[in-house]
Amino acid sequence: MNDQPARPPKPQPQLEHYPHRVTEIVRFGDLDPQGHVNQAVFNTYFESGRVAMFRSPDLGIGVPGLTYVLVRIEIDYRRELHWPGTIEVGTSVAEFGRSSFIAAQAIFRDGQCCATARATLVCIDLKTRKSCPLPEEAITRLNPWKYRGQESGVRGQASGDF
């Protein structure tokens, strides 16, 4: 028997916490032999959300001679996804570092959060291929896309119906 007091419920991510959103189709080919979307495909959904946000002409975080590379991603799986259907991928900026920033993301289906992710992107010089400080102009353009929920909702906390 566990005598530990019950923990208070953790805040659940909500779609409105993520200012940038894209809709993706769950394809039959996304399924694995268990009949649900394969875990590797979640990474592809998250990539689609980041690319749609960071390559958007309206956001324009590109700086001549620099690019951003993914150096880390953490994914917490919360619920299964099945075919057919559509999902919404929400993307936001969680925090800035000296030469990097963290994108907080979530996948939603029918209003339910199915997975969350934190992706670290580093700014690199295209000539030297080494990291360099984030330009102020990029930070200024990214600031309006900051995560809008409670901080604990942006940290990985798997709690699902598996």
Q: What one-letter code names the amino acid at 42?
A: F
- Could you give the CA distance from residue 70 to residue 48 in angstroms, rounded to a whole number? 13
Domains and CATH numbers, the chain: 15-138 (3.10.129.10)
User: What are the structure tokens assigned to 77, written together?
Assistant: 């799986």
Q: What is the mean pLDDT of each run of 10 residues along the chain (162 residues)?
A: 75 94 97 96 97 77 85 98 97 97 98 98 96 93 91 49 34
Q: Considering the entire predicted model, what is its pTM?
A: 0.87
Q: Which of 57, 47, 55, 69 is nearest to 125 (CA)?
A: 69
Q: Are the CB atoms for 78 and 14 separated by under 8 Å?
A: no
Residue whose structure tokens are 């309206």: 58
